[in-house]
Structure 1
Amino acid sequence: MSEITKPNYLPKIIDSHAHLDFPEFDVDRDVLFQSMKKVGIQTVIIPGVSPEHWDKQHQIATQYSCPYALGIHPWFSDKQFPNALSELDKRINDSVHDPRFVAIGECGLDKLHKSDWEVQILVLEHQLMLAESLNLPVILHVVKAHNEIMPLLKRYKLARGGVIHGFYGSIELATEYVKLGYKLGIGGLILNSDARKLKDCITKIPTNSIIIETDSPAMSPKSSLVKRNTPLILPLIIDEIAKLQKKSSVLITERMFDNAMQLFDL
């Protein structure tokens, strides 16, 4: 087929987790969104992390018509958590009829962070209860705490499940989460040459169990192809998943789009 007769194909892509409200994007956010549109990135889901971030998060989500989640990240689970949870309840009550409000999170457990472990658990449980009562999916940050979070996810059986953000584990761990109704958020770490366990997992996991994300501006891959972590690296992530699954990039793109649409009811 000649270049002239090739059909123009613009993929439909969703970044299921990017903090585009963070100050790192203040200098060129408009340009970034324009560039995203040109490569088929339809939208970005912007997670919440703390009361101090929610106003700007809502402003950016409104300005760029992005879906968003509301939650308290384990890094922000401190001694003031009763006040933070009260603010979260109020913010959610004010947002519950906003069609762009699609999930609870980013919340979870992080054993590598200095924040109080018992407080992390209390803050997470409150958010799981919110997700259960509002019938919303949850966006989970889990670092070195899979054994501790599994019993909680079994106790709070969320009808709509959620996503294990930044998944970097084995096929055995992935299978446990999928059985509980959760999808795996696969980001730029899949581009790292030393991510052997994750790459092996992706070769074996069903495509309907995966959504793609970048966690921009954090979690930048070590790949020489990536100078800055933004949603614009999503085509690289798609190509790597396609290679590992021995499927076409077009097919993986369509599946990832459909999975995000379904999970977050977009």
Structure 2
Amino acid sequence: MIDTHCHIDFPKFDADRQAVLASSLRAGVQKIVVPGVSASQWPKLQTLIEQTPSLYFAAGVHPWWVTESVVANLEQLESEITPYLQHEKCVAVGECGLDKLCDIAFDWQQAVLEYHIDLAKRFCKPIILHSVKTHNAMLVHLKKGALTHGGVVHAFSGSTQEAEQYWQQGFYLGIGGTITYARTNKTRKAVAAMPLDALLLETDAPDMPMNGRQGQRNSPEYLPEVVAVIAELKNISPSEVIAATTANAQRLFKFSND
């Protein structure tokens, strides 16, 4: 399995990070993609990635970390982010996107998203998108941006129609703990309806805990629980889910088939 979105570098893992990684490997998680969220985080993230063979990363500014200074100094951001995007273990641009539930000015978020879309095109990398209550606006940006290397909509929680529109734009759907809750009927229907070729596995650990683990720290070692629900929704075996989603992640992020 490949966890395509996990913040294993966050402080909640500082006390036992290596133990969690070892447990995840035993659970079958062979690779983990760790998204960037802010310029101040990238140096520590790169150091961790270089020390850990199973980890890969992306470089970007999450909408929660967008500030007026970031928007006003995109040229400076370019000089800061370029060395990370050129790193051999950097597999994507992001995490970036739009979030209607945070307090960051929406026009700032959109400006920084457009900047990331341009970066993804220039550096020929996929993009990792954060979209909360913004699917319509996000699809407008993607259609206008005409990305060449696609990407993934992280923590997808939309409808079948929205899933199909992203897939038509060349975007995979990141499927995580949300679908382990029976109440997320709309998203569970979308996962059941979409082809396996459109899906990626993720945990978003330490956030988005699985059903039955509410209030606990999420972890990449719980990824098999997502696999089990996808298999149940699609009436196939867990091994089929793992084979397809692993191939999808390898295709998107240019992982070798090892």
Work out whether 1:163 is the aligned partner of 2:152. Answer: yes
The match for 2:30 is: 42
Q: Which residue matches 2:95?
A: 106
Deviations 1:94-152 (A, max 9, x none): 13442201100000001110011111111110010000111110000001111111111
How many residues in Structure 1 have an aligned counterpart in Structure 2? 254
TM-aligned CA deviation for residue 93 of structure 1: 2.4
Of 105, 110, 126, the match for 1:121 = 110
Q: Which residue of 2 aligns with 1:192?
A: 181
Using the TM superposition, give the Cα deviation of residue 219 of structure 1 relative to its aligned residue in structure 2, in angstroms.
1.4
1:183 maps to which of 155, 172, 184? 172
1:140 and 2:139 equivalent? no
Query: Within 1, Cα distance between the matches of 2:99 and 2:214?
Result: 29
Asked if structure 2 preserves the Cα contact closer than 8 Å seen for 1:51 and 1:87, the reply is no
Distance 1:250 1:225 in 2: 27
- Equivalent residues of 2:142, 2:169 under 8 A apart: yes
CA radius of gyration, larger in:
1
Q: What is residue 256 of structure 1 aligned with on the other side?
A: 245
Cα-Cα RMSD: 1.5
Q: Identify which range, 222-231 or 173-182, moves more after superposition.
A: 222-231
Equivalent position of 2:208 in the other structure: 219
Query: SS state of the match for residue 80, structure 1?
Result: helix
Q: What residue identity is the alignment partner of 2:56?
A: P
Q: Secondary structure at the match of 1:103?
A: strand
Q: What is the alpha-carbon distance in structure 2 between the residues aligned to residue 231 and residue 182 of structure 1?
A: 22
Does the CA contact (< 8 Å) of 2:35 and 2:60 recur in 1? Answer: yes
How do residues 17-28 of structure 1 correspond to structure 2 at under 5 angstroms? 17-28=5-16
Please tell me whether the aligned partners of residues 49 and 76 of structure 1 are also in contact (alpha carbons under 8 angstroms). yes
Q: Which residue of 1 aligns with 2:63?
A: 74
TM superposition shift of 1:160: 1.4
8 Å Cα contact 2:207-2:217 kept in structure 1: no
SS state at 2:30 partner: strand
Please tell me the residue identity of whatever aligns with 2:127. V
- How many angstroms apart in 2 are the aligned matches of 1:85 and 1:70? 14
Aligned to 1:61: 49
TM-score by length of 1: 0.91
CA distance in 2, matches of 1:183, 1:21: 24
The 8 Å contact of residues 117 and 145 in structure 2, kept in 1 or not, is answered as yes
SS for the counterpart of 1:228 is coil
SS in 1 for 2:61: coil
Letter aligned with residue 105 of structure 1: G
Q: Which residue of 2 aligns with 1:10?
A: none
8 Å Cα contact 2:35/2:58 also seen in 1: yes
Normalising by structure 2, what TM-score? Answer: 0.94
- Among residues 218, 221, 228, which one is paired with 1:239 in the alignment? 228
> What is the CA–CA distance in structure 2 between the aligned matches of 1:183 and 1:74, rounded to whole Å?
20
- Please report how far the alpha carbon of residue 227 of structure 1 lies from its aligned counterpart in structure 2 after TM superposition: 4.5
Q: Choose which of 15, 24, 30 in structure 1 pairs with 2:3.
A: 15
- Structure 1 window deviating more from structure 2 (181-190 vs 55-64): it is 55-64
